[in-house]
Amino acid sequence: MPAMRVPPADGRLVLAMDLGASHLSVALVDGAGELYRPQAFDLTPSPDPVKILSQVISAARCLLTGQRDEVGRIAGAGIGVAGLVDPRAGRVLSASNLGWANVDIGNVLTGFLGLSVRVDNDARLATLAEAIHGAGRGCSDLLGLWIGTGIGGGLILGGRLIRGASGTAGEIGHLPLIEDGPACSCGNRGCLEALAAGPAIAAAGREALARAKRKGIRSALRELCGDDPAEVTSRLVAAAADRGDPEARAIFVRAGAHLGAALAGAVNLLNPERIVVGGGVAGAGEHLLAPARRKLAERALAPPGGTVRVVAARFRDTGVLVGAGALVLGDY
């Protein structure tokens, strides 16, 4: 199978934007995936798209101000959005963390920026970035998984970026794992996201904290959060696991096992060559990935489970921007 085609490094640039639930980043990107003047902003989520889009437009305009030379080399713009997106229509179908439904951001941004704008799902663009410039380079069949506040995914099969019939392929976070499990952001129950994303890990951390306090057991988790449940985040649980806290490690073993079970299903279905895992929660590294690999090996069929490699993503916070650049320059 052919590896992913690489966009030409011909001096053209892309105005790249990454719109998350609580952050916005913008940069110019070239064909080699290099970022120029990346800027990141905090966003207050608003169900009013005008409020958010006016911030996107002003950040983009600010980036281009006074850069006449670079503006002349811009081939177009690309934006990754955390939500269900119809890439063909340039429309956000739903973004539960932003509180959006059916927002025609492609046309709005095109009108205000005077550039053609491609819109796609953020996890899909981060996967594209890994396939071309990162940990998935050289693969023709790649699954990308991004674990943060939610869990997103991207899919490349036979060297092609897969979008599906309505543009939403790759939503591995909503693989149903436990009937009647914990509530998920999608309105359903027991999805992978509800079991292994940041909020689930933080909630398990708060439970572990309450147990340790009740039993009078000292722990790294207690020390790190100063016994304050409001301080317990998935990052703090990872820091406690780094210090050897057995409860914190057990939280990642459970989350990793859920992740591995979902990956086993995906591997049996799709037979990817490599799985790239990134996002804030993946910063826990082997605490999460080792149990995921174990469960994957236990549950996946052979050979697909025996040949697939699970690796950490190369890009931490910039993958969506790099992917938005590739999307426009490579016209995927």
Q: At closest approach, how far in Å is the CB of 193 from Zn ion? A: 5
Whether 242 sits among the annotated catalytic residues: the reply is no
Q: At closest approach, how far in Å is the CB of 29 from Zn ion? A: 31
Are the beta carbons of 75 and 13 closer than 8 angstroms?
Answer: yes
Other residues' Cβ atoms within 10 Å of the Cβ of residue 65: 9
Residue length of the chain? 332
Backbone φ and ψ of 180, nearest 5°: 65, 25
Q: At closest approach, how far in Å is the CB of 309 from Zn ion? A: 27
Site for Zn ion in 32-71 (CB under 5 A): none
In 3D, which of 165, 161, 91 has the Cα closest to residue 126? Answer: 161
Part in contact with Zn ion (CB under 5 A); list of ranges 24-32, 100-108, 184-192, 258-266: 184-192
**Which listed residue (143, 161, 191, 275) binds Zn ion by CB under 5 A?**
191
* N-to-C CA span, the chain: 17
Task: Check binding of 186 to Zn ion (CB under 5 A).
Answer: yes
Site for Zn ion in 123-182 (CB under 5 A): 174
Backbone φ and ψ of 120, nearest 5°: -150, 175
Q: Tell me the HSE value of 23 on the side-chain side, using a 13 A CA sphere.
A: 13
Catalytic residue, chosen from 120, 122, 141, 245, is 122
Task: Check binding of 258 to Zn ion (CB under 5 A).
Answer: no
Part in contact with Zn ion (CB under 5 A); list of ranges 30-38, 125-133, 191-199, 298-306: 191-199
- Estimate the crossing angle of helix 49-64 against helix 105-113, to 10 degrees: 40
Based on CB atoms, which residue is closest to Zn ion, 39 or 188? Answer: 188
Instruction: Determine the residue type at 154.
Output: G
Residues 6 or more apart whose Cβ sits within 8 Å of residue 114: none
Task: Check binding of 184 to Zn ion (CB under 5 A).
Answer: yes
Q: In what order do the strands lie in the sheet containing 100-103?
A: 84-86, 91-95, 100-103
Q: At closest approach, how far in Å is the CB of 174 from Zn ion? A: 4
Element (H, E) at 171: none
Q: At closest approach, how far in Å is the CB of 159 from Zn ion? A: 29
Based on CB atoms, which residue is closest to Zn ion, 176 or 229? Answer: 176
DSSP strands (E only) in 20-126: 23-30, 35-42, 74-81, 84-86, 91-95, 100-103, 117-121
Based on CB atoms, which residue is closest to Zn ion, 25 or 149? Answer: 149
Cis peptide upstream of residue 303 (ω within 30 degrees of 0)? yes
Based on CB atoms, which residue is closest to Zn ion, 187 or 303? Answer: 187
Site for Zn ion in 68-87 (CB under 5 A): none
Based on CB atoms, which residue is closest to Zn ion, 11 or 187? Answer: 187
- Residues binding Zn ion: number (CB under 5 A): 5
Q: At closest approach, how far in Å is the CB of 238 from Zn ion? A: 23
Based on CB atoms, which residue is closest to Zn ion, 189 or 294? Answer: 189
The set of catalytic residues is 122
Interface with Zn ion (CB under 5 A): 174, 184, 186, 188, 191
